[in-house]
Amino acid sequence: MLGTELELRLLNYRDTTPLKAAQVDDEPYGGGAGMVLRVDVVAAALEAAYGGPPGHRVVALTPQGRQLDQQLVEELAGEEELTLLSARFEGFDERIVEHLSTDAVSIGPYVLSGGELPAMVLLDAIARRLPGALGSEVSGLEESFSAELEGGLEYPQYTRPAEFRGWSVPEVLLSGDHGRIAQWRREQSRARTVH
């Protein structure tokens, strides 16, 4: 994914499934509610897309995965190529996570109906870290969770008007004293991070 361009390919498991009637999931062995995405279906999709197992990282989006944070976003943004796998309902046959993916990632400690939204969240987080994505390389340097803010939250931001309904912009931001402004921002970032 390095570079200034992002190329996306969206694949539908139903387009390459080896099963009849575009089936992609089945009931879990041992019983239980819901449907599970089949390992043979995902293997067929990867075979169709790459001619075999991909030679790059394959991320399965699952609540059981490593929780997404800025460090992981930065790591994945450095990849030349990346495949995201999503499922619905009860998720993946465990063999997909164990044998067909290199990583399992969760966007948080909660459950959604499917992996499409987590895939979009991860994609957006990665895309904004690519060179040129923000228009200015400086824009993404000093923001929440960045190294410049020691992994903390970003300081408050203000814009015009300087006063609105009696709500004023902090005087230090209007002072023109860049040293004082930088100090105030560091203090605000630390205070927000502690909460």
Encoded amino acid at 7, one letter = E
Q: For 163-188, how does the pLDDT look when each residue is reduced to its tens digit (9 = 90+)?
A: 999 999 999 999 999 999 999 999 99
State the maximum Cα–Cα separation within the chain, in Å, rounded to a whole number: 70
Question: In the prediction, which pLDDT does 2 show?
Answer: 46
Quote the radius of gyration of the chain (alpha carbons, Å). Answer: 22
Strand-strand pairing, 25-26 and 36-37 = antiparallel
Q: Which segments in the chain show pLDDT lower than 70?
A: 1-4, 135-141, 195
In this prediction the pTM is: 0.84
Residues contacting 178, CB < 8 A, separation 6+: none
Gap between the Cα atoms of 169 and 118, Å rounded: 36
Question: In the prediction, which pLDDT does 137 show?
Answer: 55
